[in-house]
A and B are shown apart, each in its own frame.
Chain A
Amino acid sequence: MSRIHHCLLVMLLAFSLPALAEEVLAPKQALPMHDPVIEQRLVKLAEELRCVVCQNETLAASPAELAVDLRREIREQMKAGKDDQQVIAYLVERYGDFVLYRPPFKPVTWLLWLGPVLFLGIGGGAWYMTLRRRRDAQPAPVDEQKRAAAAQLLEEK
């Protein structure tokens, strides 16, 4: 090898060694499993969906194979630009309303969604009526026998 080649080789090594060293020494930042923006949307949506093959778990948390498949499917749909409503419609079309943990507001669920308001209303009404009655109530007439017995106990001490 000529002198120049020798120098070039040394220069090459000199420049590449630090680069090699950097790869070995600097720790690598772990990559998220999936695109974080899509993933955040997915998790938020999947937490309101039911894993249809589990005993009572969300699609977000379930390790079941079908759940993994469905999450993959939803991820792809979101990447393709579908919005949350479209993804929900996709799933309901295939698995029915059973897949939704937030029941849709339709005639069959009116009682469910309006029930709590109704309960509070009925309770509030009962509270009001009770207070009206109590406000106007006369004190109970005292039983003379009991009054005498009480007086006697007080005397005894």
Chain B
Amino acid sequence: MIPEIGNFAVILALLLALTQAVLPLYGAQRGNLTLMAVARPAAQGQFVLIAFAFGCLAYSFLASDFSVQNVAKNSSSQMAWFYKFTATWGSHEGSMLMWVLILAFWSAAVSVFSRHLPEDMAARVLGVLGLISVGFLSFMLFTSNPFERLLPAALEGSDLNPLLQDWGMIIHPPMLYMGYVGFAVAYAFAMAALLSGKMDVAWARWSRPWTTVAWAFLTCGVALGSWWAYRELGWGGWWFWDPVENASFMPWLAGTALMHSLAATEKRGVFKAWTVLLALTVFSLSLLGTFLVRSGVLSSVHSFATDPGRGAYLLGFFLVVIGGSLVLYAWRAPKMISGSSFGWYSRESLLLANNVILIAALASVLLGTLYPLFIDAMGLGKLSVGPPYFNAVFVPLIAPALFLMGVGPLARWKEASLPDIVTRMKWALGVALATGLLLPLTLNGFNVWASLGFFLAVWIALAVLAAFIDRLKHAQGGLLQKLAGLPSGFWGMQLAHLGMAIGVAGIAVVANYSSERDVRMEVGSYAKLGGYTFTFRGTTEHDGPNYRAARGTLEVSQDGKPVATLQPEKRVYNISGMAMTEASVHANIFRDIYVSMGDQLDDKGTWIVRLYHKPFINWLWLAALFMVVGGIMAASDKRYRIALRRSDAAKNLATQGSAS
């Protein structure tokens, strides 16, 4: 009964989404307030219905109802309850339901936090979001319904893929989707501007916080994915430039460019058409990602089971949504060009340079990801494009953008002088260069990439410091008072930039100074790596809820002093028979020591053990944290909320005026 109710709720949601799309958009064209007012309740109703449907599916999983096909294929009665819950979104169908749930959530959020927008703009934004909902709800209902029954019901499920039975699975997809799907709001704002044919600077101020929050979520989601892969896959890597990873990274790059472009549009009214195009591009990349993962056109470890039928539907949807918006762009955008001027070293100019570099990097990642498909489609054979290409191309491209992070925030709007900036930053440049050249020598020998990384990281960090010093010079009160008085927009920018510096430093170290060893360990033997001694104490048998494991014990010490006891496992899952290795990690801010079990070599308990020393790896996750916090701070800047009150007042005046 419950799956059927859930299915019915989805159908109702589709009807409501249709209403949310058609009536307000038509109403906005015609100036009909009644029709426009349909948008808010429709969006909220849609969210309630889909949340309810999601609850029905989750219930089926928690109750291990194997008469539901999705539950039978992706769960088992032996799993821990929290993995049964996450299995709700562990398949293509389930994750589509999560997609529409999160879209409905954002739409409902817009309906609540848009009181200060003019009615026609709010109606258009919600209307466009409704259109997207219609597309995905229909896709789900007609090709990927998670509520399909399996009759007769299975006695036991096929179990969730062991790789997904991990903490990371619980949190990574929801965060990622909050970001991915959140950019639909930026897209909807851009479409609303194009549909209305006008765009004033206020538009940028309205759409900026939505964009920033979506960006923060996406940063969190991408970082979590990387962290999960690092811990779970056991090869010590954290980024593989796999097509699906790229599919989440490209919207991030475009989203970063969009945030910076919006800054210029908000403050100076420039780049309007470009910002609109970027907003369209970011969401297009989200849709592209959705297509790539589910259509089977690219080979990836992350792909869901593929089906050309679904791929065709998604491609058609993609064509209509993006093609349509690009037609609208070509038609309406030229009217938006403004004539403000700015100089060579102005902040506008540097932001434009930032955008150029980010888009060039994005285009390169896109090219590399799709190149095998291009070549195959033209009958020119089969190629692979992997990490060596992406690393060779991306790092040199992004380096100038990182360098500009030390210059841009210091440049003034409209006009700035290069000599002035140089004077303020010359000591920072000196320190950064010195660090870049000398630090690698103290670590493990000179390495040009590590050198570049350290230089850029120190440069950005010192630029953040310089910005604070500059700002605080003119502030009132004691130090803490001054700091508290700085606007959150400023704090957000500096924290996010500092996060980048931390990330670059971390990558510079872990990419160039990690070490690993494969050793055959008899019980009682020891091995050394990175200054640590690992002593193997043998294995014990251990049963989990849905697996059997051989659990190894390794005592780690440094200079004779014990540091940790690590217990990696080699698991065999009962139902699928899949073998999996569960690494054991000891982390601190300076390094991870990471151990995983290979194969058993003989009956006396000799095993192949893989040891890793990963210095500064945790700086990557710390960097993401800084960026997320920075993003949230920037989005919560007072001026967005003051503007709210002021335009409420203006609206009241306007309605009074029109009433009399």
Interface residues of A, Cβ cutoff 8 Å to B = 27-34, 36, 39, 43, 47-48, 50, 54-58, 60-61, 96-103, 108-109, 111-113, 115-116, 119-120, 123-124, 126-127, 130-131, 134-140
Quick check: A57 and B388 within 8 Å, CB to CB? no
CA distance A108 to B375 in the complex (A): 8
Complex: chain B residue closest to A47, CB-CB = B387
Interface residues of B, Cβ cutoff 8 Å to A = 233, 235, 237, 240, 242-243, 270, 299-301, 303, 338-344, 348-349, 352-353, 356-357, 359-361, 363-364, 367-368, 371, 375, 380-389, 392-393, 397, 516-522, 524-528, 535-536, 608-609
Quick check: A28 and B342 within 8 Å, CB to CB? no
Kindly list chain A residues whose C-beta atoms are within 8 Å of the C-beta of B375.
Answer: 108
- Cβ-neighbour of A55 out of B300, B520, B608 (below 8 A): B300
Kindly list chain B residues whose C-beta atoms are within 8 Å of the C-beta of A134.
Answer: 270, 340-342, 348-349
- Cβ-neighbour of A98 out of B356, B382, B389 (below 8 A): B382
Q: How far is the CB of B399 from chain A (nearest CB, A)?
A: 11
CA distance A97 to B300 in the complex (A): 18
Kindly list chain B residues whose C-beta atoms are within 8 Å of the C-beta of A96.
Answer: 381-382
CA distance A140 to B608 in the complex (A): 73
Quick check: A112 and B371 within 8 Å, CB to CB? yes
Q: A115-B363, A116-B397, A120-B357 are in contact. Are A56 and B301 (CB under 8 A)?
A: yes
Kindly list chain A residues whose C-beta atoms are within 8 Å of the C-beta of B357.
Answer: 120, 123
Kindly list chain B residues whose C-beta atoms are within 8 Å of the C-beta of A55.
Answer: 299-301, 303
New A-B contacts (15) at CB < 8 Å, excluding given A61-B237, A116-B397, A139-B341: A47-B387, A57-B301, A97-B384, A109-B383, A112-B385, A113-B389, A116-B393, A119-B359, A119-B363, A123-B357, A124-B356, A134-B270, A134-B340, A134-B342, A139-B339
Quick check: B367 and A30 within 8 Å, CB to CB? no
Quick check: B364 and A30 within 8 Å, CB to CB? no
Counting chain A CB atoms within 10 Å of each CB, the highest count among B301, B348, B383 belongs to B383
Q: A29-B526, A112-B367 are in contact. Are A120 and B397 (CB under 8 A)?
A: yes
Kindly list chain A residues whose C-beta atoms are within 8 Å of the C-beta of B519.
Answer: 30-33
Quick check: A99 and B384 within 8 Å, CB to CB? yes
Kindly list chain B residues whose C-beta atoms are within 8 Å of the C-beta of A98.
Answer: 382-384
Complex: chain A residue closest to B270, CB-CB = A134
CA distance A139 to B340 in the complex (A): 6
Q: A57-B301, A97-B383, A139-B339 are in contact. Are A127 and B518 (CB under 8 A)?
A: no
Q: How far is the CB of A14 from chain B (nearest CB, A)?
A: 27
Kindly list chain A residues whose C-beta atoms are within 8 Å of the C-beta of B392.
Answer: 102
CA distance A6 to B226 in the complex (A): 71
Q: How far is the CB of B195 from chain A (nearest CB, A)?
A: 23
Q: How far is the CB of A18 from chain B (nearest CB, A)?
A: 19
Quick check: B524 and A27 within 8 Å, CB to CB? yes
Quick check: A140 and B524 within 8 Å, CB to CB? no
- Cβ-neighbour of A127 out of B242, B352, B388 (below 8 A): B352
Complex: chain A residue closest to B269, CB-CB = A140
CA distance A30 to B382 in the complex (A): 43
CA distance A34 to B389 in the complex (A): 29
Quick check: B341 and A135 within 8 Å, CB to CB? yes
CA distance A86 to B352 in the complex (A): 46
Quick check: A103 and B383 within 8 Å, CB to CB? yes
Complex: chain A residue closest to B516, CB-CB = A43
Q: A48-B386, A96-B381, A101-B389 are in contact. Are A138 and B356 (CB under 8 A)?
A: no
Q: A56-B242, A123-B359 are in contact. Are A50 and B386 (CB under 8 A)?
A: yes
CA distance A142 to B397 in the complex (A): 41
Quick check: B353 and A127 within 8 Å, CB to CB? yes
Complex: chain A residue closest to B535, CB-CB = A27
Q: How far is the CB of A98 from chain B (nearest CB, A)?
A: 5
Q: A28-B522, A30-B526, A135-B341 are in contact. Are A50 and B384 (CB under 8 A)?
A: yes
Q: How far is the CB of A35 from chain B (nearest CB, A)?
A: 11
Quick check: A119 and B364 within 8 Å, CB to CB? yes
Complex: chain A residue closest to B608, CB-CB = A33
Complex: chain B residue closest to A100, CB-CB = B384
Kindly list chain A residues whose C-beta atoms are within 8 Å of the C-beta of B344.
Answer: 131, 135
Quick check: B382 and A138 within 8 Å, CB to CB? no
Q: How far is the CB of B605 from chain A (nearest CB, A)?
A: 13
Quick check: A39 and B349 within 8 Å, CB to CB? no
CA distance A126 to B347 in the complex (A): 17
Kindly list chain A residues whose C-beta atoms are within 8 Å of the C-beta of B303.
Answer: 55
- Cβ-neighbour of B380 out of A60, A108, A116, A137 (below 8 A): A108
CA distance A28 to B525 in the complex (A): 5
Q: How far is the CB of A70 from chain B (nearest CB, A)?
A: 15
Kindly list chain A residues whose C-beta atoms are within 8 Å of the C-beta of B237.
Answer: 61
Quick check: B300 and A56 within 8 Å, CB to CB? yes
Kindly list chain A residues whose C-beta atoms are within 8 Å of the C-beta of B368.
Answer: 112
Quick check: B339 and A137 within 8 Å, CB to CB? yes
Quick check: A32 and B356 within 8 Å, CB to CB? no
Report the 10 A-B pairs with minimum CB-CB distance, sorted nearest first.
Answer: A101-B386, A102-B388, A123-B356, A116-B364, A61-B235, A119-B360, A140-B339, A137-B341, A30-B525, A30-B519
CA distance A28 to B386 in the complex (A): 40
CA distance A102 to B352 in the complex (A): 32
Kindly list chain A residues whose C-beta atoms are within 8 Å of the C-beta of B361.
Answer: 116
- Pairs across A and B, CB under 8 Å, 5 listed: A50-B386, A108-B375, A109-B383, A116-B397, A136-B341
Q: A30-B519, A103-B383, A120-B397 are in contact. Are A56 and B388 (CB under 8 A)?
A: no
Kindly list chain A residues whose C-beta atoms are within 8 Å of the C-beta of B516.
Answer: 43
Quick check: B387 and A101 within 8 Å, CB to CB? yes
CA distance A103 to B270 in the complex (A): 41
Complex: chain A residue closest to B243, CB-CB = A56
Quick check: A102 and B389 within 8 Å, CB to CB? yes
Quick check: B524 and A116 within 8 Å, CB to CB? no
CA distance A44 to B353 in the complex (A): 36
Complex: chain A residue closest to B598, CB-CB = A33
Q: A27-B524, A112-B368 are in contact. Are A97 and B382 (CB under 8 A)?
A: yes
- Cβ-neighbour of B385 out of A54, A101, A135 (below 8 A): A101
Quick check: A30 and B536 within 8 Å, CB to CB? yes
